[in-house]
């Protein structure tokens, strides 16, 4: 395919280490993921480029080596799921469940992300440069998520730990039944979910947030412009007097 050849030539000029190009118009998704899973520690194949993803599901799931993967186009469900160390950049938008259960590493989505981005993630950094839709960071367990745009309803539902940073607005029921995750929202919050409350921004929060903004390339905003939300810790254990709030 001519487009592939052009980008390959360009890349070889601009990188000292040529990346391995995988064209999903010519090879199957399974071939791609198996090749990524076969990477041994210390492999020289540290830069990968995936062409023509065309909304494919499960692109680059379960990678456990610190390689960089550039996906040129939009992906479907579960891109980068279970990622453990790779730096994945999607030059397009992502379907539902991007970075689900990420352990470590980094995923950057240049466009928008669909439902439950970063769900159950245990570690690493997920950056969404556009908007994320509903249930962003649902049940997050240590992942850091930075969304440059807005997030949809029921985000950070039952979020356990980690940080969710939103430069734009948040939809209904933010942080419903939240545990110890920290939520930082710069814009408007449509409504807070059960047991989620606004909290004081102390110096340590400003410092933490500034670090996350820097890592996520979020320039032109100040940590002091955000509000912090977290758990009122009233629903941790079942109490019959709280029955209406569950």
Partner 1 sequence: MCGIVGLFLKDKALEPKLGAMLSEMLVSLSDRGPDSAGIAIYGATTGNEAKITIQSAKPDRDFRGLDAELAKAIGAPVSIAVKSTHAVIRSTPDKVDAAREALQTLRPDVRIMGAGEAVEIYKEVGLPEAVVERFDVRAMTGTHGIGHTRMATESAVTTMGAHPFSTGADQCLVHNGSLSNHNNVRRELIRDGMKFETENDTEVAAAYLSNRMAHGKNLGEALEGTLSDLDGFFTFVVGTKNGFGVVRDPIACKPAVMAETDQYVAFGSEYRALTKLPGIDNARVWEPEPATVYFWEH
58, 89, 106, 115: which one contacts partner 1 (CB under 8 A)? Answer: 115
22, 77, 184, 229: which one contacts partner 1 (CB under 8 A)? Answer: 77
Tokens of 219: 């320039």
36, 89, 139, 153: which one contacts partner 1 (CB under 8 A)? Answer: 153
> What is the size of the binding site for partner 1 (CB under 8 A)?
17
Stretch that binds partner 1, among 62-70, 110-118, 136-144, 237-245 (CB under 8 A): 110-118
Cα gap 230→178, rounded to integer Å: 7
Phi, psi at residue 135, to the nearest 5°? 60, 30
Q: Which is nearer to partner 1, 76 or 121 (CB)?
A: 76
Cα gap 99→88, rounded to integer Å: 10
23, 49, 61, 76: which one contacts partner 1 (CB under 8 A)? Answer: 76
Stretch that binds partner 1, among 68-76, 101-109, 118-126, 216-224 (CB under 8 A): 68-76
* Dihedral (CA of 233, 238, 244, 246) sign: positive
38, 54, 222, 234: which one contacts partner 1 (CB under 8 A)? Answer: 54
Cα gap 160→141, rounded to integer Å: 5
19, 58, 65, 74: which one contacts partner 1 (CB under 8 A)? Answer: 74
23, 100, 112, 129: which one contacts partner 1 (CB under 8 A)? Answer: 112
Cα gap 45→104, rounded to integer Å: 19
Give yes or no for residue 193 binding partner 1 (CB under 8 A). Answer: no
Stretch that binds partner 1, among 62-70, 91-99, 160-168, 225-233 (CB under 8 A): 91-99
State the burial class of residue 130 (Cβ atoms within 10 Å of its Cβ: 0-12, 13-18, 19+).
Answer: middle
Closest CA to 65 of 89, 91, 35: 35
Q: Say how many CA atoms lie within 13 Å of 159 toward its Cβ.
A: 37
């Amino acid at each position: 395919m001519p487009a592939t050849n052009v980008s390959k030539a360009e890349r070889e000029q601009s990188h000292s280490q040529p990346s391995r190009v995988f064209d999903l118009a010519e090879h199957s998704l399974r071939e791609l993921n198996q090749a990524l899973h076969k990477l041994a520690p210390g492999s020289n194949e540290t830069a990968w480029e995936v062409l023509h993803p065309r909304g494919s599901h499960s692109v680059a799931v379960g990678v456990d080596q610190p390689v960089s993967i550039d996906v040129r186009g939009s992906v479907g469900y579960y891109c980068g799921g279970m990622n453990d160390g790779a730096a994945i950049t999607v030059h397009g938008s992502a379907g539902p469940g991007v970075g689900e259960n990420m352990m470590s590493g980094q995923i950057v989505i240049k466009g928008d992300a669909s439902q439950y981005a970063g769900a159950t993630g245990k570690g690493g950094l997920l950056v969404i440069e556009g908007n994320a839709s509903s249930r962003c960071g649902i049940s997050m367990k240590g992942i850091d998520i930075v969304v440059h745009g807005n997030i949809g309803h029921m985000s950070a539902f039952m979020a356990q730990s980690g940080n969710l940073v939103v430069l734009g607005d948040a939809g209904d029921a933010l942080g419903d039944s939240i545990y110890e995750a920290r939520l930082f929202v710069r814009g408007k919050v449509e409504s807070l979910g059960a047991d989620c409350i606004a909290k004081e921004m102390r110096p340590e929060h400003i410092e933490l947030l500034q670090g996350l903004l820097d890592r996520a390339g979020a320039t032109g905003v100040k940590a002091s412009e955000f509000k912090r939300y977290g758990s009122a810790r009233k629903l941790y254990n079942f109490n019959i007097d709280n029955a209406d709030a569950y």
